[in-house]
Structure 1
Amino acid sequence: MLLPLRMLLLCVHFVLASLLGLLVSICRPFNPDNSRIAARFYAVPAQYILGLRMRLELDGVLKHQRPAVIVANHLSNYDLFVFGHAVPPRTVTLGKTSLKWIPFFGQLYWLAGNVLIDRGNAIQAKKAMLTTTDTLQHKDMSIWVFAEGTRGHGKGLAPLKKGAFQMAINAGVPIIPLCANNYVRGMNLNRWRSGTVVMRALAPIPTAGMTLDDMPELMAKCHAQMKACIDELDREAGTLASKA
């Protein structure tokens, strides 16, 4: 019986958080800190609605000096509520243009200064890439990317897309890998304590002096570090769950 109640509460919360974030963004449109504020609106109440036990090791991303490209693993539709705890100041994200059609959330996403990309339009995608490079170099901002490009649903880390690494190399800024355990594997919303999330920011990977020829090695290094970290977080989450 907990599942339908939680889904109802989560839907109501999603609308209210979107409206609150939209109000803030209308008052200060395209402010680069809107995304962080809106992310907290979504994440903090949702943690209790979903009944998630969370252990967050986020100093590496929350206290890192800007700019940087933050690369996180993408697990499920619940990531909005889970990773919202980890969005640092002056950070925007890359998202699909289709997001803008989601009532309230889409308008908030746009007014928060996030970058919408039409992946089917090569010219617009290239233009967006140039815009993000300028943002990283000159506007004291970071960019958040789910570099797998799609949700993994707890099946493990998929190959990473090139875009995040191309941006980081072009701008000469570090990559910050951010990892969460595969929390959706053991998540049961019919239980009072529905699951365990362990999240960790890894040490920045510098890109200064790199060229696009170095990108395959950089991607392989980031993927290997994230995969090892996620495997470790899965073990730690299992230990925490057994003690609960």
Structure 2
Amino acid sequence: MLLPLRMLLLCVHFVLASILGLLVSVCRPFNPDNSRIAARFYAVPATFIMGMKMRLDIDGVLKHKRPAVIVANHLSNYDLFVFGHAVPPRTVTLGKTSLKWIPFFGQLYWLAGNVLIERGNAVQAKKAMMTTTDTLQHKDMTIWVFAEGTRGHGKGLAPLKKGAFQMAINAGVPIIPLCGNNYVRGMNLNRLRGGTVVMRALEPIPTAGLTLDDMPELMATCQARMKACIDELDREAGTTAPQA
């Protein structure tokens, strides 16, 4: 009986949090701190509704001196509620242009100053890349990217795509890996305790002085560190993959 009740509460909460965040953003459109405030509106009540136990070691993200590119693993549609706890001040994200058509949420996402990209449009993608480089270099802001490009659904860390690393190298700012355990493996919203989330920010990886020729090694370094960390978090949370 808990599952349908929780899903109903989450739907109502999503609408209310979107409206509240939209009201804040309308009063201060494109303010660089809108995303952090809206993320908390979504995350704090939602993890309580879901009964998720949160263990967060994320000071490396929350207290890092901007700017930077945050690279996080992407697990499920619940990531908005889970990773919303970790969005630092003056942070924007990259998202698909289709997001703007979601009632309330899409308008909030746009007014919060996030960067909308039309996938498959090379001209628009190049323009967005120039915008993000300017944001990182001159506007004292951080950019958050789910660099796998798609949700993993508990299958483990997929290969990271190059966009986040290209942005970081072009702007000369560090990469901050942010890792969450594969919480969806053990999540059961039909139980009182819905699951466990363990999240950890890793040491920043500097990019100053690097060129695009260094990008493959940078990506490999980030991938290896994140995979090792996620495996460790899964062991701590008891969400390791079942043996074949």
TM-score (normalizing by structure 2): 0.97
The match for 2:201 is 201
Q: Distance in 1 between matches of 2:192 and 2:90?
A: 35
Q: Distance in 1 between matches of 2:32 and 2:48?
A: 27
The match for 2:16 is 16
Q: CA deviation at 1:238?
A: 1.5
The match for 1:146 is 146
The match for 1:232 is 232
- Secondary structure of the equivalent of 1:125? helix
Q: CA deviation at 1:225?
A: 0.2
Q: Which structure 2 residues correspond to residues 146-165 of structure 1 after superposition, within 5 A?
A: 146-165=146-165
Q: Distance in 1 between matches of 2:97 and 2:146?
A: 15
The match for 1:57 is 57
Q: Distance in 2 between matches of 1:3 and 1:120?
A: 37
- Secondary structure of the equivalent of 1:217? helix
The match for 2:242 is none
The match for 2:47 is 47
Quick one: which amino acid aligns to residue 117 of structure 1?
Answer: I
Q: How many residues matched?
A: 239
The match for 1:167 is 167
Q: Distance in 1 between matches of 2:221 and 2:155?
A: 20
Q: CA deviation at 1:220?
A: 0.2
Q: Distance in 2 between matches of 1:174 and 1:230?
A: 20
Q: Distance in 2 between matches of 1:186 and 1:216?
A: 33
Q: Distance in 1 between matches of 2:172 and 2:5?
A: 47
Q: CA deviation at 1:173?
A: 0.1
Q: Distance in 2 between matches of 1:238 and 1:185?
A: 9
Q: Distance in 2 between matches of 1:3 and 1:111?
A: 33
Q: Distance in 1 between matches of 2:151 and 2:173?
A: 26
Q: Give identity over the alignment, percent.
A: 91
- Secondary structure of the equivalent of 1:232? helix
- Secondary structure of the equivalent of 1:200? strand
Q: Distance in 1 between matches of 2:92 and 2:38?
A: 11
Q: Distance in 2 between matches of 1:100 and 1:214?
A: 35
Q: Which runs of 5+ in 2 are unaligned?
A: 240-244
Where in structure 1 do 4 or more consecutive aligned residues deviate above 4 Å? none
Q: CA deviation at 1:120?
A: 1.4
Q: Distance in 2 between matches of 1:136 and 1:73?
A: 21
Q: Distance in 1 between matches of 2:80 and 2:59?
A: 19
Q: Distance in 2 between matches of 1:96 and 1:161?
A: 15
Q: Distance in 2 between matches of 1:226 and 1:177?
A: 7
The match for 2:133 is 133
Q: What does the per-residue CA deviation read over 1:146-174, in whole Å, with 9 as the maximum and x for residues that have no partner?
A: 00000000000000000000000000000
